Amino acid sequence: MKEYCGRDLSRMVANVYDPNHRGNIDWREIMFQCFVLSNFDLSPREALISAFDFFTDSSSTVKGEAIQNILLYLLSPETLPEFLDKFYEKWVNIRLEGTTCRFEGNFRVIDERISFRLYSEIVKSIVVESESYEAFECQFYPSYLWQIQECRRHIRQCLERATITAKKSAIIKWQEESNRRQKAHETFSRIAFRLYRRMNQKSFDLWKRHTMFCLAAVEIQRSLRGFLARKACQAKLAEERSSILIQSVARRWLVHSRYKWLQTIRDEAAYRIQTCCRWHQEQIIQKKRLETALDVERRRQMKLEQKANEMMVNRGFTRLQRVFRSNLMRKEIRKSVAKRQREIKVLNEMNLRQALLQQEKEIHERQACAFRERRLAQIEIAEKQLERNFIQKKTLQKRRFTEKIESIEKREQNEQNRKDQNVLETLKENWEKDIAKQCTSLQKLCSDSLRNAETASEKELKKKILSLSKKKLKGVLKFADSQNRKMELKEANDIALKLAIDDCVSAKKAELQNLIMKAVADTKQTQSILREQKNKEIKQHKLENAKKILHSALLRYMARRKVQAIAKVSFEKIYNEKYEAFYYRNKRTGEVSWYKPKILGSGDVPNST
């Protein structure tokens, strides 16, 4: 079963049609919506369980009547297709079980109708179940059992009588029709076989004749089956129409019987009401007939005496009221005189107290003025102290900020110098490697030029090396003579050529090193220029930030001064209001206590925030 089947589905539909749970809901609409929802996510059996669940829920207020109506619907098969013919195509078993008796039945949708069978009496509960182990049971209320039992008894009797008669007549007609068709089939088969045998007696053998006979028989049987099927369908439709007619007659009989019962109750109530009204009118007329003229005269005399007694009592009450009012006036005059004397006494006391309060007010006003001046002086001192603290705090913050910035700048400068030095060292190493490669290539070029000079540059280089070797040859020979060493001319020429090549290479190396030193000096100069430009930009940025900080500090200072002025004014206003309140309270009640403001503390002076 789906996760929102059963109670969840029924409550979802009930919340849509009856959100306040008042019970004002049509059970047919609920049942229809449950079956419509079953077309998408639920099986028909689960949707039917959901409908029963809604009408048997503990929170529902339409239990008995709804269950009765649903059962009547199940017992009237021609009314249920409007809910089930599009959604329900399975068998569903229904069991009504109680303490002593048992009911079993089933209904299903067959094309456009529903078949339903009934076997027992009505009991206390209904169970809807399927082939699985899942089942749902709903309890009936005893107050509705007799109504359901009576209705179903009449329906069952009518259905049984009409159904038995219709079935018997339908079976007899079908048997007669089938016998007639069977005889016609046999006759047609014999005639066709004889005709075929006469026409083809000499043309083919027995096997072929038997084959053709089978084909003819199959053709005749096929046409006869279509005829039989149409006749069976007509009989079936006639049976359905008869069952529908029988059920409509049974329903009309039920409605008519209920209508006659209600009409009888209405007529009896109207007759009883008319009888009571007539009896009451007769009682009134009888009382009037029993009265006499003497009773009327006695009643008139009693009314006159009662009126005279009332007049005497009223005159006595008038005299008493006049005497009471005169005594009351005298008492009121005495009270007013005494009240006036008390008022004069109280007025004198109030004048005396007013004079005393005026003296005390003047004294306290002088004290309040002195206190206000002391208070304002304390506020000014506190403001100055706050300003000094603020200046010290800002100075300390500025010094720390400057030290921090300087340390950061120094660290950045050292880092930049280190990076520049690393770059220069890397460049030097690369340049030295390039110089060594060029010297090696130059030495190789010199050797190649001596062996085989082809281009003009190689010839010039060879000429230069040979001239240098001639100069070096003398020195080599002198060195050999000084060492007393015997040396051949070829060996001396080779040494001279080697020395000449070394001199050329060293000269080229010295030239390249000079170029490198010049490039390093140019690089350092460029780095120093870039560093100075960067420092200028940083100083300009710092100057702008300092201007912004000074501007914001000035704005905060001005705002603080405004807040202090407002606090001073509000303090004086609050003091004056409280003083006047105490003054008028003392004037009204006669007390002598005065407003004593608290001693100035740290919370009374506005801070720099």
In-domain check, residue 232: no
Task: Report how far residue 414's alpha carbon sits from residue 282's, in angstroms, rounded to the nearest whole number.
Answer: 132
Strand partners, 107: 92, 116
Structurally, the chain folds into a number of domains equal to 2
pTM beyond 0.75: the answer is no
What 8-state DSSP symbol labels residue 100? S
Say what the pLDDT of residue 548 is. Answer: 81
Ramachandran assignment for 311, one of left (phi > 0), alpha (psi -120 to 50 degrees), beta (any other): alpha
Say what the pLDDT of residue 543 is. Answer: 78
Burial 342-364 (b: 16+ CB within 10 A, else e): eeeeeeeeeeeeeeebeeebeeb
If you write DSSP's letter for every residue of 57-88 in order, what string do you get? -TT-S-HHHHHHHHHHHHH-TTTTHHHHTTT-
In-domain check, residue 309: no
Distance from CA of residue 166 to its chain's centroid? 62
From 140, 159, 190, give the residue that closes a domain.
140
pLDDT tens-digit series, residues 349-364: 888 888 887 887 787 7
Burial 390-402 (b: 16+ CB within 10 A, else e): beeeeeeeeeeee
Among candidates 475, 526, 521, 528, which has minimal Cα distance to 498? Answer: 475
Domain membership of residue 471 as a residue range: 418-529
Contacts of 468 (CB under 8 A, 6+ apart): 499, 500, 503, 504
Say what the pLDDT of residue 5 is. Answer: 43
In-domain check, residue 593: no
From 122, 140, 158, give the residue that closes a domain.
140
pLDDT tens-digit series, residues 261-302: 777 777 777 777 777 777 877 877 777 767 666 677 778 888
Token couple for 289: 């007939």
Q: pLDDT below 70 — which residues of the chain?
A: 1-175, 177-226, 289, 291-294, 451, 453-454, 484, 486-488, 571-572, 574-609
Burial 515-540 (b: 16+ CB within 10 A, else e): ebeeeeeeeeeebeeeeeeeeeeeee
Q: H helices then E strands: how many in the chain?
A: 10, 5
pLDDT tens-digit series, residues 41-62: 555 445 555 555 555 554 444 4
Terminal C-alpha separation, the chain: 69
Among candidates 91, 74, 92, which has minimal Cα distance to 83? Answer: 74
In-domain check, residue 35: yes
Contact 12/145 with Cβ under 8 angstroms? no
Say what the pLDDT of residue 8 is. Answer: 53
Among candidates 121, 84, 87, which has minimal Cα distance to 102? Answer: 121
Say what the pLDDT of residue 411 is. Answer: 83
In-domain check, residue 224: no
In-domain check, residue 198: no
In-domain check, residue 322: no
Token couple for 279: 């009896």
Given the DSSP bridges, would you call strands 125-129 and 92-97 parallel, antiparallel or unpaired?
Answer: antiparallel
Task: Report how far residue 251's alpha carbon sits from residue 77's, in angstroms, rounded to the nearest whole number.
Answer: 11
Strand partners, 127: 95, 137
Contacts of 373 (CB under 8 A, 6+ apart): none
Given the DSSP bridges, would you call strands 113-117 and 135-139 parallel, antiparallel or unpaired?
Answer: unpaired
Token couple for 274: 């008319």
From 121, 140, 159, give the residue that closes a domain.
140
In-domain check, residue 272: no
Say what the pLDDT of residue 590 is. Answer: 60
pLDDT tens-digit series, residues 585-597: 666 666 555 545 4
